[in-house]
Structure 1
């Protein structure tokens, strides 16, 4: 079973993403900021990361930049934000995201993106 780490400071957003992913058969874990996410990634393995941009302590960009510098198995990351400009998308990819999606996500959009990055797309 594929494991997804949902990183977002908003409990409602984490719940929404968790329900979509678990309903499709993924196992999920959650982190409320980039610091907690780094701790979880170093303690356990995940197949995919869902990363919010705006979080206290360590934002999504900082988290991905730190993670990509570590000598650990790397996993794909979907960065999710309410910001929709090309500059936001470019910054996300430069930070280490594999894909950039704009909130609010539709369930089929999230699942299709996850399937592509996990090599499960038909």
Structure 2
């Protein structure tokens, strides 16, 4: 018996990318909300109950590294799994994201099957 749908917050300044991730995850049975930058991402994370946050790195107002650091500093957000999805592909970028609090690093464009697998893994949701 399946429980309630897992909730994912997609934080990315790109409208097309947010829609792409939303479509993939909703087809896989997740509920998805969106935020356009790290500031809005923190605000949404504080007002909603999310099982996973997908975070872009390069965003205006607050980048993904800063958002992750702030999430990890707040007790109510500390334990939400976070996956960074970025165009930055250098090993240092992944190291910085993991050091900031990401649980997983994916390079854009995210393969739809890999994205769903990562979301299921991070939320403990069966296939």
TM-score, normalised on structure 1?
A: 0.96
Q: Deviations over 1:39-83 (max 9, x none)?
A: 111111100000000000000000000110012142100001111
What RMSD over aligned residues (CA atoms) do the two structures have, in Å? Answer: 1.0
Q: Which runs of 5+ in 1 are unaligned?
A: none
Match of 1:102 among 100, 103, 107: 107
Q: Within 1, Cα distance between the matches of 2:96 and 2:126? A: 26
Structure 1 residue aligned with 2:38, among 22, 27, 34?
Answer: 34
Structure 2: tracts of 5 or more residues without a match: none
Report the counterpart of residue 82 of structure 2 in structure 1: 77
When normalised by structure 2's length, the TM-score is 0.93
Q: How many residues align?
A: 122
Runs of 4+ off more than 3 Å: none
Contact kept? 1:112, 1:121, Cα under 8 Å: no
